Amino acid sequence: GSDPTIDDCEISDCDNIGILVTGSTAQPEIRNSYLYDIDYDALYVTGDADPKVFNNKLYAGQGFAVRVYGADGLFCGNEFRTQTTNSGVGIYGSTSSPEFNEDYFQGNLWDMRYIAGSNAVYISAGQPDFGDYPIHRGANDFMYLSYIGDDDYYIHNNSGNMVLAESNYWGVTQPADSFFYRQCRS
């Protein structure tokens, strides 16, 4: 429930979660930090928290680089990696509406060569945004989805909601529908 600024930190060798942000009054700013060698989620945002997360390297072990559960947040200029079968980012809870990039900010990087799971993003519920329209300098980068199989997606949307994913770089001129699971407007 607090609002610290975590700036230019190195956080590693965590047995559980690297940073936990929880509570409706929690609006911390996390920037220019490197989280790695984390056994589970590098960053876990829950309980209607609303952090600003800028220019971080978030590397998870058995969990997600970022897990958002019933919370919001603004995520810009981050790099997401995982070492196990989880996706780079996981979004849960019907009230979750994090924004991954918006006008005037640098986009995030999902490089599938460094995401051990088959999805850059897994959405169970909520309504996150990935980029926006019109096209601007800071679009997100979804890169190197080398195999499109039954379980391989840039965005795996199980929420039942339309997910906005516009003005991003998909590694191709026009991403095929097979790059997404269910409703994504790209």
Q: Which of 53-57, 150-154, 171-175 has the lowest mean pLDDT?
A: 171-175
* Cβ(98)–Cβ(71) below 8 Å: yes
pLDDT at 182 over 90: no
Residue-wise pLDDT for 92-146, tens only, equals 999 999 999 866 578 899 988 889 888 999 999 999 999 876 666 558 998 887 6
pTM exceeds 0.85 for this model: yes
Q: Which residue has the higher pLDDT, 152 or 136?
A: 152
Reduced to 3 states (helix: H, G, I; strand: E, B; else coil), residue 42 is coil
Q: Where are the alpha helices (DSSP H) in 20-159?
A: none
Identify the sign of the CA torsion 78, 70, 114, 157: negative
Distance (Å, whole) CA 161 – CA 50: 21
Do residues 71 and 90 touch, judged by C-beta distance below 8 A? no
Tens-place pLDDT, residues 18-63? 999 999 999 999 999 999 999 999 999 999 999 999 999 999 988 9
Tokens (6 digits) for 177: 């529908």
HSE toward the beta carbon, residue 109, CA cutoff 13 A:
13
Q: How many CB atoms lie within 10 A of CB 153?
A: 23
